[in-house]
Structure 1
Amino acid sequence: MPRPPRKRTVEFVPEINYFKPAGVPLRELQEEVLNVDELEAVRLKDIEGLDQQDAAKKMNVSRSTFQLILTNAREKISKALVSGKAIRIEGGIYQVRDCQCGCEQHRHRGGPKSS
């Protein structure tokens, strides 16, 4: 029996969780579902510019697991962009990191949530 997966630690949970191509009715679109932890991997690597080892530490996973999460995320995003699919951000096995910034919902990019 495989051991249960460990929760990945995330610092950012998006308020906007759905993206779709402009001008295409929602009922006509297929979706790619991007997990919250996959979005966090992309954020840490591509936006924050962390190397995989440092990003893996922040997410509380091994470097090889981080690489797998990142590869899956980039594949889903690429498929959606190339094929004109919608992207829904939801789910995944994660926990939100407690922060000292005073934000209420941990929906931030490096600072307190603005009012």
Structure 2
Amino acid sequence: MARPIKWRRVEKLPEYRYFVPSKTEKNLNENTLKIEELEAIRLRDLEGLEQEECANSMEISRQTFQRIYNEAKKKVADSLINGKAIRITGGNYTQHICKLVCEKCGNSWQERVEDLEHEDDICPKCGSPKHYCKENKSRKGCRKKCCKICNE
């Protein structure tokens, strides 16, 4: 069985998602920078946070943060040195991870906020559609405003 995806939390989604060198060719090579890689650069280089703080902000381990950050720097350097475009897209990211508990069987699991926008959210164990946010054990007033269900 495959490992479950470990979502990387990002605060801000980028407004601009494509950058090209000033002198462009028709068949321009490009690097694809994942959303979480851009977030790693933003936190470390723009915000000036330490590695541990960056990892905590993204809700990942320090080692995972360092791996993401190093890969991002490599892609940006390649684009700057070799005149490649940068496309920012994709990745395993979320703006918040909601910790849910099934009212029927008590199973707990995590979902991305983006995945909770659908009406057919069900418990992966028993299939019940009734669950609540573990953050405050109710359907209303989730402190992190993590999903539509919690804010009804």
Tell me the TM-score normalised to structure 2 length.
Answer: 0.61
Aligned to 1:109: none
Q: Which runs of 4+ in 1 moved over 3 A?
A: none
Say if 2:52 is the partner of 1:41: no
Aligned length in residues: 98
> What's the CA shift for 1:5?
2.5
Render the CA deviation track for 1:30-65: whole Å, top value 9, x for unaligned: 010000000000000000000000100000000000
Q: Distance in 1 between matches of 2:46 and 2:63?
A: 20
Larger Cα-atom Rg: 2
Task: Show structure 1 runs of 5+ residues with no match.
Answer: 101-115
Q: Distance in 2 between matches of 1:53 and 1:15?
A: 26
Amino acid in structure 2 at the alignment position of 1:3:
R
Structure 2 residue matching 1:28: 3-state secondary structure: coil
> What's the CA shift for 1:15?
1.4
Task: Show structure 2 runs of 5+ residues with no match.
Answer: 97-112, 114-142, 144-152
Amino acid in structure 1 at the alignment position of 2:21:
P
Q: Which has the higher strand share?
A: 2
Over aligned residue pairs, what C-alpha RMSD do you find? Answer: 1.6
Structure 1 residue matching 2:49: 3-state secondary structure: coil
- Using CA pairs under 8 Å that are at least 6 residues apart, name the structure with larger relative contact order, 1 or 2: 1
> What's the CA shift for 1:75?
0.3
Which segment is superposed worse, 88-97 or 59-68? 88-97
Aligned to 2:87: 88
Aligned to 2:23: 23
Amino acid in structure 1 at the alignment position of 2:27:
E
Determine what percentage of the aligned residue pairs are the same residue. Answer: 46
Q: Which has the higher helix share?
A: 1
Q: Distance in 2 between matches of 1:79 and 1:23?
A: 16
Q: Distance in 2 between matches of 1:89 and 1:53?
A: 24
Structure 2 residue matching 1:32: 3-state secondary structure: strand
Tell me the TM-score normalised to structure 1 length.
Answer: 0.80
> What's the CA shift for 1:24?
1.1
Amino acid in structure 2 at the alignment position of 1:47:
L
Instruction: Kindly report which structure 2 residues correspond to 1:1-115, keeping only aligned pairs within 5 A, or say none.
Output: 1-25=1-25, 27-97=26-96
Aligned to 1:108: none
